[in-house]
Chains A and B, each alone.
With several copies, the nearest count.
Chain A
Amino acid sequence: MQILYFAWVREKIGRAGDDIALPPGVTDIAGLMRHLAALSPGHAAAFANPTAIRAAINQDFARPEDAVTNGDEVAFFPPVTGG
């Protein structure tokens, strides 16, 4: 599945995304964040405070408990600051 990072999440991880296979047992955004946090020190830094991160599943805002599947595009980013 395609994972995308924006703003300081992208900067801490050092790249704009990851292409991963969803591991068994990971079923929602919260679980996916825990899985990604273990991938590298940059990922660990980015996901150190999960409440500071927002997510989108297939270009719609998602909550920590929302389900993810292998075909999804999932994005992680800070709270938005446009306008």
Chain B
Amino acid sequence: MARIAVQEAEFDVSAETALLTAGRRDIGAVASFIGICRADDGLAAMVLEHYPAMTERAMQKIAAEAQSRWPLTGCTLIHRVGRLEPGAPIVLVLTASAHRQAALESCAFLMDWLKTKAPFWKREEFTQGAARWVEARAEDDAAAQKW
């Protein structure tokens, strides 16, 4: 029931919302989250690498976990890969439910789990020419474990 995509292309939240709600009259709430590339510390671009054979499988498991915990009518997870410049959207999470609490909580849950349980890695390139792999953050692990 989840729509999962890993793509280089940008996504459109209105189009994805329309897909998620099409033909339904039992949805009272759609929550969404968009993660965007920030220009911190002179960042020129972010390069997102992933493990293609595993990525969609891991995202399906994360979506299935959300659907087992909240009464969702559906959810959408789209993660971009490749080179993304500041201002570019990176990830979209959309959840739909009869009620707002389920939509909002599951959206936050999906982001916390995507950050810590899907095989993506970010490499940052800076305007001065330096580059570095982003390090996992303890606070992201803590956020994922609180659910």
Asked if A and B touch directly (CB within 8 angstroms), the answer is yes
A contacts, CB < 8 Å to B: 4, 6-8, 56, 59-61, 73, 75, 77-83
The size of the chain B interface, using a CB distance under 8 A, is 28
Closest approach, in angstroms, between the C-beta of B33 and any C-beta of chain A?
Answer: 9
Which B residues are in CB contact (< 8 Å) with A59? 51, 53-54, 57-58
- B35-51: CB near A (< 8 Å → 1, else 0) gives 10000000000001111
Nearest-Cβ distance from residue B8 to partner chain A, whole angstroms: 14
**Given known A-B contacts A7-B49, A7-B121, A56-B51, A80 and B57 have beta carbons under 8 A apart:** no
A59-B54, A59-B57, A61-B117 known; A80 vs B136 contact (CB < 8 Å) = yes
Cβ contact within 8 Å between B53 and A81: no
* Top 9 A-B pairs, shortest CB-CB distance: A82-B120, A83-B115, A79-B136, A7-B121, A59-B54, A81-B134, A83-B114, A81-B122, A8-B133
Q: How far is the CB of A48 from chain B (nearest CB, A)?
A: 15
**Please, how many angstroms separate the alpha-carbon atoms of A59 and B50 in the complex?**
12
* Cβ-based interface call for B91 (8 A): yes
| C-alpha gap A77/B119 in the complex (Å) | 9
Is the C-beta of B135 less than 8 angstroms from some C-beta in chain A?
Answer: yes
Contact assessment for A83 and B91 in the assembled complex, using a CB-CB cutoff below 8 Å: yes
Closest CB-CB distance, A78 to chain B, in whole Å? 6
Interface mask (B119-133 → A, CB under 8 Å = 1, otherwise 0): 111110000000001
